[in-house]
Amino acid sequence: MRLLNYIALSLFALVGFVSCEMREEIKSDKDGMEMGLLELSVQAKSPVVTKATVVSTDDFPVTIVGKSVDGEEVERNYDAVADLPESILLPVGTYSVVSHTKGKLDKQMAVPYYKGSSDMEIKKDITSSANVTCRMQNSRIQLKYSTEFLAKFTEWTIMLDDGSETA
């Protein structure tokens, strides 16, 4: 019976030493990495401010890319802003958050395309906040011709070029 007590006592002492040794790894999530939280918000800024031009960002995809202080590359992708958790756990480091309208920016588009990014730093045990403001990346131009112009010209061609590939 004494032998069984010595074995049990040794087992409890071993578990106690291991739990003290692992405290930092457990406390700082995985592999001893220091972690911080990110609270993220995404909004779109319309070039014309009216009640009818409020742009919903709920379906904008979000990508978080960066490097932890340990040199590890970190990338998190979310299909929509609506899918974002309230706070995102990230290793301590510097990150860039990018959000945009679904799809890609083409040379010719029939709908507005919004995109924005924000750089930030995640610090240990601190909740960081980031706000990504998406701005229109393409333009839509509306021309209104006077009745005199329409009466004088029966045919015309107008070319607009902003000097980039995405005119």
CATH number at residue 85: 2.60.40
For residues 115 and 94, give the distance between their C-alpha atoms in angstroms, rounded to a whole number: 20
CB 139 within 8 A of CB 49: no
Run of H or E residues at 19? helix 2-21
Same domain, 24 and 37: no
Higher pLDDT, 141 or 73: 73
pLDDT of residue 46: 75
pLDDT digits (tens, 9 = 90+) for 18-60: 555 444 444 444 556 789 999 999 998 876 655 556 788 999 9
| 71 and 133 share one domain | yes
Residue 23 shares a structural domain with residue 105: no
pLDDT, mean of residues 147-154: 89
What is the three-class DSSP state of 14?
Answer: helix
Cα separation, 93 vs 91, in Å, equals 6
74 and 23 assigned to the same domain:
no
Residue type, 116: G
Is residue 16 domain-shared with residue 46, that is, in the same domain? Answer: no
